[in-house]
Amino acid sequence: MSATAGDEAAVAERLEALRRKLGKKQHFEEAVADLAATLRDRYAGASPALRESMYSTVCRVATVLQTRYTAPGFWRVGLNLFVATEKLLTNPAEKERLKTCILRAREHLDEKENEESMPTNREPDTRFLFEGHLTVGQEPPPPAWLVAQNLTRELNILAEPSGDQNGNNTRTELRPEEMTPAIMNFLNTLSGDAELESALEASLQGITAQPKVPPASKEVVANLPVVTVTEEVIARLGSETECAVCRENLVVDDKMQELPCKHLFHPPCLKPWLDENNSCPICRHELRTDDHAYESRKEREREEEEDRKGAANAVRGGEFMYI
């Protein structure tokens, strides 16, 4: 039976109260259980607006779990809520979102179980010994990725330019038609080592690839300020302000990471992005990287751009023009 307007207003108020309780660890499990009961009893007869509010509150549970809690108990009650809610939903996009939440919760619980069940008696260590390590037996062979990395480095050295004493650049470059037979001849000597072949082929794919923008500096990312959302912050930014990655609205007590451009993101939402990129997901403001070559190139490009602008201004002003 459809709920009356008064009943729906009361349910909406209760959902708002539950959202606030989710942020307090001592009330989290109780709030999730109450939310699950509300969906079970009210979702089928709710109006579209109330259904949206219920779905939004369930998404809030997922955000709180990912940004604040790691204890398996919290994730188990969250998983039960996601599974029950996914069965009630009819909107395909909402069902897909809940399936993602279910998958993430199961992955988290599997990781915790694996950590707890790790055996204390380990097999003898047969890992490759890097510089500075000692061994009392026969040294294990180097891993395939290291062999591939070393070969790739050698080929890159052959292809890099080198300067002579007069400042002229000379380049010993392996052309593709020369490089491919050389690589294949080397692969033929690997005696059927499939793992090493795969590692080499993967490494060599990047030799002639265009340079990729490096990720943000780990030091810069580690020192990004984390701010706690307060009523004042929401009043300043607006009640509809959201994390641009997960699209969840900011609520009081959220922990948000602030980029130099002042855009805010949940730390777990921002980390995967900065692991691959060096800019703000919204405005593309760049952060410093750990790649010295890339930073030097950026600095040169800035200087060249300033020189071009200066030359253009000088020509327009009639300076430095000779007859």
Q: What is the pLDDT of residues 245-296, one digit of tens each?
A: 888 888 888 898 999 998 889 988 888 888 888 889 888 888 888 888 888 8
Structural domain count of the chain: 3
One domain, residues 264 and 291: yes
What's the Rg (C-alpha) of the chain?
29
Within-domain flag for 138:
no
Q: Is the pTM value of this prediction over 0.85?
A: no
Mean pLDDT score across all residues of the chain: 76
Angstrom distance (rounded) from CA 38 to CA 20: 16
315 or 267, greater pLDDT: 267
Query: Residue 296's domain is classified under what CATH number?
Result: 3.30.40.10
* Burial profile 194-230: b = 16 or more Cβ within 10 angstroms, e = fewer: eebbebbeebbeeeeeeeeebbbbeebbeebeeeebe
CB 255 within 8 A of CB 187: no
- For residue 136, is pLDDT > 90? no
The more confident residue out of 53 and 138 is: 53
| CA–CA distance, 255 with 273 (Å, rounded to integer) | 17
Based on the fold, state whether residues 33 and 97 are members of the same structural domain: yes
Identify the H or E element spanning 163.
Answer: strand 161-163
- Is the domain of 183 the same as that of 251? no
- Whether residues 214 and 304 share a domain: the answer is yes
In a shared domain, residues 150 and 221? no
37: nearest Cα among 81, 91, 96, 82: 81
In this model, does residue 297 exceed pLDDT 60? yes
Instruction: Identify whether 10 is part of a domain.
Output: yes
The answer to whether residue 135 sits within a structural domain is no
Comparing 18 with 180, the larger pLDDT belongs to 18
Please report which helix (H) or strand (E) contains residue 7, including its range.
Answer: helix 5-22
Beta bridge partners of 264: 258
Q: From CA 61, how far away is CA 67, in angstroms rounded?
A: 10
Asked, for residue 278, whether it belongs to a domain, the answer is yes
Residues 152 and 219 grouped into a single domain? no
Strand partners, 170: 162
Band of residue 225 on the pLDDT scale cut at 50, 70, 90: very high
**Which residue range(s) make up the domain with 276?**
210-313
Of residues 126 and 113, more confidence is placed in 113
Q: Which two tokens stand for residue 87?
A: 């069965």
Instruction: Give me 166's structure tokens.
Output: 């007069």
Going by pLDDT thresholds of 50, 70 and 90, the confidence category of residue 35 is: very high
Q: SS3 sequence, 196-209?
A: HHHHHHHHHCCCCC
DSSP 172: -
| 157-172 tens-digit pLDDT | 555 544 444 444 444 4
Residue 197 and residue 218 in one domain: no
Same domain, 200 and 215: no
User: Is 62 inside a domain boundary?
Assistant: yes
